[in-house]
A and B are shown apart, each in its own frame.
Chain A
Amino acid sequence: MSDRTEWPLWEVFVRSKAGLDHKHCGSLHAADPKLAIQMARDVYTRRQEGVSIWVVRSDQIVASDPGDKAMYFDPAEDKVYRHPTFYELPKSVDHM
Chain B
Amino acid sequence: MYTQAMDTRAADEAPKSLRSAEEVQLQERFDARIDAGDFIEAKDWMPEHYRKTLVRQISQHAHSEIVGMLPEGNWISRAPTLKRKAILLAKVQDEGGHGLYLYAAAETLGTSRDQLFDALHSGRAKYSSIFNYPTLTWADMGTIGWLVDGAAIMNQVPICRCSYAPYARAMIRICREESFHQRQGFEALLTMMTHGTEAQKAMVQDAVNRWWWPSIMMFGPPDDASPNSAQSMRWGIKRVSNDELRQRFIDATVDQAKLLGVTLPDPDLKWNEARQSHDFGAIDWSEFKRVLAGDGPCNRERLAARVKAWDDGAWVREAATAHANKQTMKEAA
Q: Which of A's residues lie within 8 Å of B, judged by CB?
A: 1-3, 5-7, 9, 25-29, 31-32, 35, 43, 46-47, 63, 65-66
Q: Pick 7 A–B contacts, CB within 8 A, sort by A.
A: A26-B170, A26-B173, A31-B324, A32-B324, A46-B94, A46-B97, A66-B44
- Interface 9-residue window, one of B112-120, B138-146, B207-215, B268-276: B112-120
Task: Identify 5 new A-B residue pairs, CB closer than 8 A, beyond the known A5-B317, A9-B104.
Answer: A7-B320, A9-B107, A26-B169, A31-B317, A66-B44
Question: Whole-angstrom distance between the alpha carbons of A6 and B321 in the complex?
Answer: 8
With a cutoff of 8 Å between Cβ atoms, the chain A residues found around residue B118 in the complex are 1
Q: Which of A2, A29, A66 lies in contact with B314, CB distance below 8 A?
A: A2
Q: A32-B320, A63-B43 are in contact. Are A2 and B104 (CB under 8 A)?
A: no
Contact (Cβ within 8 A) B113 A6:
yes
Chain A residue with the shortest CB-CB distance to B40: A66
Q: Any chain A CB within 8 A of the CB of B202?
A: no
Main secondary structure of the interface of B (DSSP, over half): helix
Chain B interface, number of residues (Cβ within 8 angstroms): 29
Q: A31-B324, A32-B323, A32-B324 are in contact. Are A6 and B107 (CB under 8 A)?
A: no
Q: How far does the Cβ of B47 sit from chain A's closest Cβ, in whole Å? A: 15
Contact (Cβ within 8 A) B114 A1:
yes
Q: Which of B161-188 contact A (CB under 8 A)?
A: 169-170, 173, 177
Chain B residue with the shortest CB-CB distance to A44: B97
Q: Which of B41, B104, B327 lies in contact with A27, CB distance below 8 A?
A: B104
With a cutoff of 8 Å between Cβ atoms, the chain B residues found around residue A29 in the complex are 113
Q: Which of B's residues lie within 8 Å of A, judged by CB?
A: 41, 43-45, 93-94, 97, 100-101, 104, 107, 112-114, 117-118, 121, 169-170, 173, 177, 314, 317-318, 320-321, 323-324, 327
| Interface hub of A1, A25, A28, A63 (most chain B Cβ within 10 A) | A1
Question: Whole-angstrom distance between the alpha carbons of A66 and B46 in the complex?
Answer: 12
Contact (Cβ within 8 A) B170 A1:
no
With a cutoff of 8 Å between Cβ atoms, the chain B residues found around residue A6 in the complex are 112-114
Chain B residue with the shortest CB-CB distance to A32: B324
Q: Which of B101, B177, B321 lies in contact with A26, CB distance below 8 A?
A: B101
Q: How far does the Cβ of B25 sit from chain A's closest Cβ, in whole Å? A: 13
| Interface hub of A9, A27, A28, A63 (most chain B Cβ within 10 A) | A27
Chain A residue with the shortest CB-CB distance to B101: A26
Contact (Cβ within 8 A) A27 B121:
no
Q: Which of A5, A43, A66 lies in contact with B41, CB distance below 8 A?
A: A66
Question: Whole-angstrom distance between the alpha carbons of A81 and B121 in the complex?
Answer: 59
| Interface hub of B104, B112, B118, B121 (most chain A Cβ within 10 A) | B104
Q: How far does the Cβ of B287 sit from chain A's closest Cβ, in whole Å? A: 32
Chain A residue with the shortest CB-CB distance to B315: A5
Chain A residue with the shortest CB-CB distance to B107: A9
With a cutoff of 8 Å between Cβ atoms, the chain A residues found around residue B320 in the complex are 7, 31-32, 35
